[in-house]
C-alpha cells in the first residue's frame, strides 16, 4: 500500500467528528511504515508521550497517536475500519459486489460474542470465531467474505418480531412449531428474562437494547423475509415502513395488527392441544390444502379466510403473498 509519504494510514474517526468535534483518525486499525518507525524510533517516542500525557487525554492511546501524527497521516476508506456504531455518520457504501466490509470494528460494550445481540454483522464474527486456524491461513489473498461462506446451505427463512412488550401471544408456540424458520426478536429496550430465555432455542436470536441503532434496523429488515406484527402495544413504524418499502409480507393477528400497513391477518389459535381462541370465529383453521406450492417450492399463498393453528408440522421456505382475494 502506498502511504503517499505518510508514516501511518488510518480511517477517519466519524465518532470523533460528531462527539468531540475533532478531525482525527480511529486507532483501531492502522497501516504503518515500518522503515520510518524504526528510523525515527517512533515506539520510544510514543511511550514517552504516553508517560507524559496518559492522565490528561480522553481517548487513551488514540489521543496519543493523533497528537504525534497530527496532519501527518493518510486517510483510508471507511471499508478498512468499519466501526459498526459509526456507520450512520457516513454516507459510505460498500463497493458493488462486496457483501461485507473488509475490516469490521465492533466498538463499545456491544460485543458480538455476548448471548444477546446488539450489533450489526454479528453472524460474521461467529463465522470467523468457529474457523480453524488452518482455514484462516488458506485465505492468504484476503479475498472478500461472501454470504455463501456463512450460509453454505442458504440463509434460513427468517421472521422478525420487533417489540417493546415482553408478553407476545403464541410466539414460543411458533418457535417450537417451525424449527426450520429462524426468529429474530428485537427490542429497543432491554429485554425481560422471559424474552431473553428464548435464545435457548437454536432458531432464535434476541436483540436487546438497540435504540438509535439505525444500521442494525436496516440489517434486520434486509435479512428478514417476513415481519410478524404480533406484539401488543406500541408499534415501530420505521420497521413496518421498511417491510412495505421492500415489498416483504407482514403477518398479524386480527386484534393486534397495525391498521395502516396492509398486513395479512389471522385469528388467534392455541393449536392442536386446544385452548383459547379469539372471540371471532369467522375464520377456519389452515389445512395443508391451504398451502399452494409451485413446482419449484418457492411460493406459498395462504387462503385469506383462514387462520393459523399453531403446532402443525409445517416447513416454510419463501413467502409470496397472493394478490388475489
Give the cell for residue 217.
434496523
Q: Indicate whether 3 belongs to any domain.
A: no
Examine the domain organization and report whether 135 and 267 are in the same domain: no
Q: Using a cut of 0.85, tell me whether the model's pTM lies above it.
A: no
Quick one: residue 142, left, alpha or beta (phi over 0 = left, psi -120 to 50 = alpha)?
A: left
**221 and 127: one domain?**
no
Do residues 229 and 129 both lie within one domain?
Answer: no
pLDDT tens, residue by residue, 248-291:
999 887 766 565 656 565 555 544 443 444 433 333 343 333 33
Residues 137 and 165 in one domain: no
DSSP-assigned letters across all residues of 284-302: EE--GGGEEE-TTS--EEE
pLDDT tens digit string along 156-181? Answer: 999 999 998 899 988 999 999 999 99
Q: Which residues of the chain have pLDDT under 70?
A: 140-141, 255-325
Residues 226 and 250 in one domain: yes
- Specify the CATH number for the domain of residue 240: 3.40.50.720
CA distance 80 to 45: 26
pLDDT of res. 267: 53
Amino acid at each position: 500500500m502506498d502511504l503517499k509519504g505518510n508514516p501511518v494510514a488510518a480511517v477517519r474517526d466519524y465518532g470523533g467528528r460528531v462527539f468531540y468535534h475533532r478531525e482525527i483518525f480511529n486507532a483501531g486499525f492502522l497501516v504503518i511504515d515500518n522503515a520510518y518507525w524504526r528510523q525515527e524510533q517512533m515506539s520510544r517516542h510514543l511511550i514517552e508521550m504516553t508517560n507524559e500525557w496518559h492522565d490528561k487525554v480522553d481517548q487513551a492511546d488514540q489521543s496519543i497517536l493523533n497528537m504525534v501524527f497530527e496532519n501527518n497521516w493518510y486517510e483510508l476508506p471507511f471499508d478498512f475500519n468499519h466501526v459498526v456504531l459509526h456507520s450512520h455518520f457516513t454516507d459510505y457504501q460498500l463497493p458493488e459486489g462486496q457483501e461485507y466490509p473488509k475490516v469490521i470494528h465492533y466498538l463499545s460494550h456491544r460485543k458480538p460474542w455476548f448471548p444477546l445481540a446488539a450489533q450489526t454483522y454479528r453472524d460474521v464474527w461467529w463465522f470467523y470465531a468457529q474457523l480453524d486456524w488452518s482455514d484462516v491461513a488458506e485465505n492468504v489473498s484476503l479475498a472478500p467474505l461472501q454470504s455463501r461462506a456463512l450460509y453454505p446451505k442458504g440463509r434460513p427463512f427468517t421472521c422478525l418480531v420487533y417489540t417493546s412488550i415482553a408478553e407476545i401471544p403464541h410466539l414460543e408456540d411458533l418457535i417450537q412449531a417451525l424449527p426450520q424458520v429462524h426468529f429474530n426478536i428485537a427490542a429497543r429496550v432491554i429485554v425481560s428474562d422471559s424474552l431473553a430465555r428464548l435464545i435457548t432455542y437454536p432458531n432464535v436470536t434476541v436483540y436487546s437494547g438497540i435504540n438509535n441503532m439505525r444500521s442494525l434496523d436496516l440489517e434486520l429488515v434486509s435479512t428478514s423475509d417476513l415481519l410478524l406484527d404480533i406484539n401488543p402495544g406500541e408499534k415501530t413504524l420505521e420497521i413496518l415502513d421498511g417491510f412495505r418499502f421492500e415489498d416483504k409480507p407482514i403477518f398479524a393477528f386480527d386484534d393486534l395488527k397495525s391498521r395502516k400497513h396492509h398486513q395479512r391477518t389471522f385469528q388467534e389459535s392455541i393449536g392442536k392441544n386446544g385452548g383459547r381462541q379469539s372471540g371471532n370465529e369467522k375464520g377456519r383453521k389452515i389445512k395443508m390444502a391451504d398451502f399452494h406450492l409451485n413446482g419449484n417450492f418457492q411460493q406459498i399463498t395462504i387462503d385469506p379466510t383462514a387462520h393459523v393453528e399453531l403446532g402443525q408440522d409445517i416447513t416454510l421456505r419463501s413467502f409470496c403473498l397472493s394478490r388475489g382475494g
